[in-house]
Amino acid sequence: MIRILMVVLLTFVRPSLSLIHLNPLTFKLLTKTPSLGVNLNFSFISTSNSKFINLYYRNFCNLSSTLRDSNTTTELDPLRKYDRNSCKLIIKSGVGGSESFDWCRILTEMYKKFISHYEPPDSDDNFPTSLRLKEVDVCPGSTGGFRRVEFDVIGDYAYRLLKGENGTHRLIRNSPFNSENKRQTSFGSVQVVPILSDTDEEVVNFKKNRQLLKKDLIIESMRSSGKGGQNVNKVETAGNLLLLKSIFTQSTIDIFVLVRVYHKPTGLSVKVQQERTNTQNREIAIRMLTKLVDQHYLKKLNEKVNEIKGEDLVGTWGSHIRTYTLNPEQRVKDHRTNFETSKATNVLNGDLLPFILTYLNSNV
């Protein structure tokens, strides 16, 4: 289906057009993805054909919902598969002391207001019908404001809605913390991380792998008698377990059984020699091994979560995605889409949807 639509669109576009106005993700999708079945040979010439590019790009954006469901876009954006999940927002102050702590507070209030007053846009696309906020952690600044705030945003497609907010946010204003009321620049970082759900592959595998199955276990027993006795090593199978049980019940001397349980998938093993019977020691060993296996796979799950989260953002100059200017004039500009508004007060009061939708539409 995608191949047919692309071919139809390309019949109306000259083979040598300037791609200056194309979004980088779109350009990569068009020129670097053989799975679309379209071999493009664009050359970079003058912008005289920009009207054809704009027409083509608008038509191409109409395919966004189809492309979003394809494996192609998942290859380009590995986190796209978590679009339906709830998400975690982590807001941190950057450099700037009191002004930076206050900027972290302002950002926190902005997102809280957006979430509490959220209404889904008029669109057939996948957006949350409602959002709910759950505060997780708050670290106050040393002179007021916040150093770090973390909260969960609960709702289907919350991650898709908010993932474009991930990045460094810059504030320019006359600082109330400056004795001379000078214009000052502050930075804050917003990290948006999907919350894994029970249906995600990583969680499903975790629940599956943490269960101990008989086929994955090797159980070995060693029984040692008192003085004059002998040590006998046996690898437990269904047959020799009955033999061991018969030997133990008929024995008239003290018998101490060492049990070793080995888990083949992880290579973990446990040895137990606390009780006199094989059954008791085996039960203890399996309980201990269950905890070890659980910890093993939980560690792997946490490593995957950290991989999804990525490195911590550092709010510094040159890395900002959006600038909020309050002085000498009010203006908010997104540097990725060039969308801007002079209604900075409205934006800081939670009017973020125009910025969010513009970003989502610019990233097919």
pLDDT digits (tens, 9 = 90+) for 166-196: 999 999 999 988 878 789 999 999 999 999 9
Distance CA 90, CA 357 (A): 21
Q: How far is CA 158 from the centre of its chain?
A: 12
- Give yes or no for residue 241 having a pLDDT over 80: no
Characterize the bridge pairing of strands 217-225 and 255-263.
Answer: antiparallel
Structure tokens at 63: 């395919």
Contact indicator for 68, 25 with CB cutoff of 8 Å: no
Return the pLDDT at 228: 41
The 10s digit of each residue's pLDDT in 134-172 is 999 999 998 889 999 999 999 999 999 999 999 999 999
Out of 56-60, 70-74, 116-120, 337-341, which region has the weakest mean confidence (pLDDT)? 70-74
The 10s digit of each residue's pLDDT in 75-104 is 556 778 899 999 999 999 987 789 999 999
Contact indicator for 297, 289 with CB cutoff of 8 Å: no
The 10s digit of each residue's pLDDT in 271-321 is 998 888 888 999 999 999 999 999 999 998 888 888 887 776 665 666 799
Return the pLDDT at 306: 83
Distance CA 230, CA 164 (A): 70
Residue 328 burial class via C-beta count within 10 angstroms: exposed 0-12, middle 13-18, buried 19 and up: exposed
The mean predicted confidence, pLDDT, of the chain is: 77
Rounded CA Rg of the chain: 30
With a pLDDT cut of 90, the percent of the chain lying above it is: 46
Characterize the bridge pairing of strands 146-154 and 183-194.
Answer: unpaired
Q: Which has more confidence, 315 or 337?
A: 337
Q: Say how many C-beta atoms besides its own lie within 10 A of residue 335's C-beta.
A: 13
- Give yes or no for residue 49 having a pLDDT over 80: no
With a pLDDT cut of 70, the percent of the chain lying above it is: 67
- Give yes or no for residue 2 having a pLDDT over 70: no
- Give yes or no for residue 21 having a pLDDT over 60: no
Residue that the structure tokens 């027993």 belong to: 221
pTM listed for this prediction = 0.67
Distance CA 308, CA 349 (A): 30
Domains present along the chain, CATH in parentheses: 2-76 (no CATH), 83-197+313-362 (3.30.70.1660), 208-306 (3.30.160.20)
Q: What is the mean pLDDT of residues 111-136?
A: 91
Contact indicator for 175, 184 with CB cutoff of 8 Å: yes
Distance CA 20, CA 260 (A): 66
Q: Which has more confidence, 287 or 55?
A: 287
Return the pLDDT at 255: 58
Distance CA 127, CA 159 (A): 10
Distance CA 102, CA 99 (A): 5
- Give yes or no for residue 130 having a pLDDT over 50: yes
**Per-residue DSSP letters for 217-230?**
EEEEEEEEESTT--
Out of 27-41, 208-222, 304-318, which region has the weakest mean confidence (pLDDT)? 27-41
